[in-house]
Structure 1
């Protein structure tokens, strides 16, 4: 009640993790990543979505990631964001008849300061834009416009959708910017150097 009527909600709970194989991933990183990315998203949806449902109207957009849809060496992050996508589907079914739409946006690599820094410092094995169908990474305003559309009444018949905004990265391969798929440890495959 302290917030008044909530008509739209964007849930962008997220922390990232470093690229590492699962046997090197500390459980504390796994737990914290799922706590922030999944549990944080769930709690925000529960608090505001139930209020929207009681009022009979509302729109929620959860932010997931392209990491939810493909294989990437960010195991905790990808798993948490895949769960956000599935949570979105479940809540869309739960609250749809109450007039609440719940959707999700999954951005690919987006030209935000953290990504710009990684590009400049060489932390990526390759420029992620070279592996997208459009030959570039996503601009922040493109993600914002997708979110704005889904929250708005222009999307009044859309619920339970995961809108991928990735410049065609998903169709071009998600491991590429990280140097490709790792060989099995016992195979001693080629180096990624």
Structure 2
């Protein structure tokens, strides 16, 4: 009988120790999951648009917008351009239906500012991205990160959804009103889901 009590006592200690270790492992697992949730609270949205040729050009490309914690990064790659400097803007409407791209309206300017260089203290349109340079093969890239935009946030002064990306034939002089005298629209993509 003593032997039986001793076995029961030893088993009780083993079960208690085992439960304590399992509890510790469970607590560690829960803690890890909470950390992942906290780290996962970063708001990330991405939208990619494909550029279509306009005005009898061959200009194509892809523009990817990514928003993380209130900052939107635009990464664009283009081909079929003539060598040199080309303007790129966001326009009012995600409508690329017309052959010359004019169905996209004018520059996106929700705060009624004068046209200008991005970030200028004298003012600029929220769509005044600026210029990019195409190489001898007609390829160009552009990158911009800003807190002036958002993706689908519903703020009329920041939301790029429903706008269009337009690449122009020429260079934006960053001063002519209202559009920088950049010439024909040679590629267009609506920013839509």
Q: Which has the higher helix share?
A: 1
Q: Does the pair score TM above 0.5?
A: no
- TM-score, with structure 2 as normaliser: 0.27
